[in-house]
Every structure is written in C-alpha cells, then in structure tokens.
Amino acid sequence: MKSMKLIRHLLLSCCTILVLVSSCEIQEDFKYQPSNVDGKLDINAWDYIQQSDSLSFLQQAITYAEVQSLFNGSEAKTYILPNNAAFRTYLRENQYSTIEDIPLPILRNILRYHTVKDRVIFTDPTLAPSNRPVAYETENGQVMYLSHNSSFIGLINEGTNVQWQIRTSNLEPTNGVIHVVNSVVYYSAPTGEAAAPNPNLIRDTIYALHDSYVNGPPSAGTNFGTATTLRLKNLNGNSEVDRRVYLLFNFEDFKKEGIVTDMQLKIQTAFTAGKGVFTYLYDVPGYTDWTETAINFNNAQKPAAGTSPIGSFIAVAGQPFVFDITAFYNTKPDHERVTFMLDAQAGSDETTDLASKEHATLAPPMLIAILASGVSTLTLDANAAINVSSGGVFVLDKETLAVSGAAAADIAYTVDAISSNGWLIKGANILRPGDRFTQLDIDLNNILFIHNGENSAASTIGLSARDRSGGLIDDITVNINVQ
C-alpha cells in the first residue's frame, strides 16, 4: 500500500514538472495565452528565441541579418517576436520562398521595428489606468503604439490603420520584456476622422460592355460569356482548372466633366476562401474586338510575356475586388476601349468566383471615377535630400517633403520613378511606379527609404502630387545621398 502511494506521488510530481516546463513554451494555436506563472526568465531574449521551436523562423532571420546584438545586449528593451506562423504568412504575401529571399536591408528594418527602445510590460500599474495607446520609439526610427484592453491583453498600434493583438505577453528575459505575435507587424499612419465631403468632387460610374472567363483544356473551346460568375483559378496555366477573366470597358462612356483624380475597378465577390492569394490585373493592348458570346481559352489574347500587372489584390471573403487604376488611366490619352484580364497567382490552385453582369443579385463589374473641378492650387513647401547610410533606413517627414494647399490626407503622391539603389516602403509594402501615398503618411513617419547596401551612387525618386480637387504638381525630384 505504501508503495502504491509512493508511485502515485511520483507520477503527480512528474506531471506537475511537465506542466511547469511546457508553460515556458509558446502555444501553437492562435488564441491569446498568458505567459508562464510569473513570466521571469533567467536567460536573455536571444537565448530564449534559440530555445523556442515556435520561433525558429525568427532565429533564422536574426542570424541571416546578423543582428544578434539587438537581442542579447544588456540594455532593457521590449521585444515583439513574430512566431513561425507570422513569418509563413509574411513570406507568402510578399512572394518570398525563404527567409534568405528577403532583401537584407528590408529584413533588418523589420527586426529593428520589432525592437522597442523601452521596457513595456502590461502588468505595470502605471499603464493600467488609461488603456490608451502610448507611442514608443523603435530601433528603426519609427514609433510603435502599445496598449492593452480591459482584459489586459496587449495591443500593437491600436488606433492606426492596422492593429494587432499580442498572443503571449509579459515574458521577462534578463534584458527586457518579450511579447509574442502571430503577425509581422508594421506602422501604418492613423486613420483619423473621416474627411468631410468635398463639394468640388463628382462621381461617375460605367459598366463592362462584355465580361467572361475562359477555361483551359479540355474546355478550351467552350464559351462562358453568359455565366453568372467570372471564375478565377491558376494551377499551371494550361489545364481544366486554369481560368482567366476578361472585361471590356469603353472610357468614352464617362459623361461627366472634370479632372480624374481617382479611378477604381470594382468587382463583387460571389465566392472566395480568402487564403491570401494574389489576383493580378493586366491590360491587353489592342484587344478590343472580342465579344462575351465568342471568347474562349483558345482565341483569347493574353498580355505579352513579362508584362507587369496594372495592380494586384488579395481576396478577402465577403469583400469586393477593388483595383486602383488611376495611374493606368492617366497613361491612356485616347481614353477609348480597354480590355482587362485578371489572372490568379501562379500555382495557387485557389477558386474565386466574381459576379458577372448577368448575376441576378450582385452588382456588375464597374469603373468608378472621381472627378474634380481643378480649381485648387498646391505648393511645394519642402523638398530636402534623403541622406542615408549604406544599408540604412531613412524615415521621411514633413521637413523632407511637404506639399500644402489641401488637407494632408487629401494630398496624394504618385511614384513616377524609383531609385535603383533601394526601396521606398509604406507600412509593409514596397512602393513601385504607379503606387501612391499621402502627405499624412509622410507627416506621421509612415514612409521609409531603405538603402540596398550595395550601390552607393547618388540617386533620385520621381514623384508627382495632386489633391482631390484637381490641384497638381508634376516632376518632384527627391535626391538620395548615400553617406
């Protein structure tokens, strides 16, 4: 009997030890989990990362970027640690296959943004009364807002365009605090209050003349022009589960007068799983004589090989597809007929069904134009050079670039030409010719230039700026000096 009691006691002790040990690990589900009993760790942040299986992608990123010193120093900092699921999503959404495919300066910038130059723990009683976001400086020169909700669950960048919930919080290594997240986070300028309606703006809408999808072999000769949905899928580009969408519009159908400041292609979604797959929008030049009752996979024209898409969109279940085609429209001086082709991300094997003009309940594909009177005047108030170190980061502000004459949120810059020795970044996105950002993005330090660490020659970025009432400044050149 004594021996049985002893065995039961030993088993209970072993289970208790296992529970305590496992509580130091990060759970693999996506629900918020508290840290271990008191959050205290007897190792630094870098050692903790190396010992955690669910942070192996982060360990790989830190090692590849050679920034171990950010995580093993003695100065107390707050470490926002993206787990493996976060990096898998980031790689997929940015079309990288591995951590090593991320350009080193961009990867270093990501890791530096996730390192806050202060000690922030949500059990701190000085944080408890307000629950309001507090701005903290990060190692890349931007800010990160940290706060918590009424349940003391930590929040990142609450009140900005994109916010995240911390999954595991308040771990305390010997050199600061650790919070674990399911996403690679970034700073995006606060949305602020909705702008008041602008009486100088006019909306005009036109609809597709023809729409259809085409389907690969063995249905390559079949026409789907009367179908109620436009089906998209891309497995290998030439099989029965490969489908592309074609839309024909006539820009001359716009009847209202004014300067086009914005134009969107909007297509309602009938079905999508929303798995983060890109859909690309292309122009098919000169292909404007097709009809929806005759087009099929065999006779439909495609853009020339290597053609860059006009835009891209990641499907979200229940949300329409919206493409900004303003820059494309401005390159079409004749403003006549145009054919758009939609193609899904290669190899994605993801089905998306969009509403055709024959759909009984959903709106047909449409182009929405915002036109302005052109009565406003913009002024270029600041245009200073970007001075950046090799492989370094420069955060743009209103001392670097400023245009006045309208509300900051209504002044939009278009990237006309980009430097060959680095990247212009908005949030987590690399800006390319045709992309846009606002004066508000600049004022709130949401735009970065990251040097590639290789080409030290001086370079430039070409921009133009316009407001929503038609004011325009062309040929803005921002000089880049590498120090």
DSSP characters over 277-321: -EEEEEE-TT-----TTT--TTT---PPTTPPPSEEEE--TTS-E
- In a shared domain, residues 366 and 383: no
Residues 325, 225 within the same domain: yes
Judge whether 194 lies within some domain.
Answer: no
Q: What is the pTM of this model?
A: 0.59
Give the domain range for residue 437. Answer: 379-482
Residues 352 and 394 grouped into a single domain? no
Tell me, yes or no, whether 345 and 409 share the same domain. no
Flag whether 320 is in a domain: yes
What gap in Å lies between CA 28 and CA 2, rounded to an integer?
Answer: 41
Residue 47 resides in a domain: yes
**Do residue 98 and residue 233 come from a single domain?**
no
Neighbouring residues of 437: CB distance < 8 A, sequence distance ≥ 6 = 412, 413, 426, 431, 446, 447
Domain CATH code at residue 129: 2.30.180.10
Domain harbouring 319, CATH code? 2.60.120.260
Is 400 found in the same domain as 327? no
Residues 396 and 366 in one domain: no
- In 3D space, the residue among 131, 135, 163 whose CA is nearest the CA of residue 149 turns out to be 131
Q: Are 121 and 43 members of one domain?
A: yes
- Whether residue 19 lies inside any domain: the answer is no
Distance of CA 229 to the CA centre of its chain: 28
- The number of CA neighbours under 13 Å toward the Cβ of 43 is 9
Residue ending a domain, choose from 354, 372, 390: 372
| DSSP tag of 24 | T
Q: Which amino acid is at 59?
A: Q
Of 181, 209, 225, which residue constitutes the final position of a domain? 181
Count: domains in the chain: 3
Give the residue from 386, 394, 282 showing the smallest Cα distance to 339. Answer: 282
Q: What pLDDT is recorded for position 260?
A: 86
Do 62 and 126 fall within a single domain? yes
Residues 229 and 344 in one domain: yes
15 assigned to some structural domain = no
The Cα–Cα gap between 314 and 239 comes to 23
* Ordered per-residue pLDDT tens for the chain, 483 residues: 444 444 344 434 444 333 333 333 333 333 334 444 467 899 999 999 999 999 999 999 999 999 999 999 999 999 999 999 999 989 988 888 999 999 999 999 999 999 999 999 987 766 544 567 889 999 998 999 998 877 778 889 887 778 889 989 899 999 999 999 999 998 876 644 444 455 567 889 999 999 999 999 999 999 999 999 999 999 877 777 899 999 999 999 999 888 888 899 999 999 987 677 789 999 999 999 999 999 999 999 999 988 989 988 888 777 899 999 998 998 887 789 999 999 998 888 888 999 999 999 999 999 999 887 666 789 999 999 999 999 999 999 999 999 999 888 889 999 999 888 999 998 878 888 888 899 999 998 889 999 999 888 899 999 999 887 778 899 999 999 998
Residue 257 lies in a domain: yes
pLDDT at 27: 33
CATH of the domain at 385: 2.60.40.10
Phi, psi of 330 (to 5 degrees): -70, -15
**Nearest in space to 356 (alpha carbons), one of 455, 238, 477, 223:** 223
The predicted structure's pLDDT at residue 201: 72
How far apart, in whole angstroms, are the C-alpha atoms of residue 307 and residue 108? 31
361 and 396 both lie in a single domain? no
Instruction: Please check whether residue 17 lies inside any domain of the structure.
Output: no
Please indicate, yes or no, if residue 366 is contained in any of the structural domains: yes
Final residue of a structural domain among 125, 150, 181: 181
Q: How far apart are CA 471 and CA 454, in angstroms?
A: 38
Phi-psi sector, 440: left (phi>0), alpha (psi -120 to 50), beta? alpha
Residue 10's pLDDT is what? 40
Say yes or no: 232 and 166 in one domain. Answer: no
Alpha-carbon distance of 265 to 276, in angstroms, equals 20
Token pair 């021996």 in the structure block, residue: 3
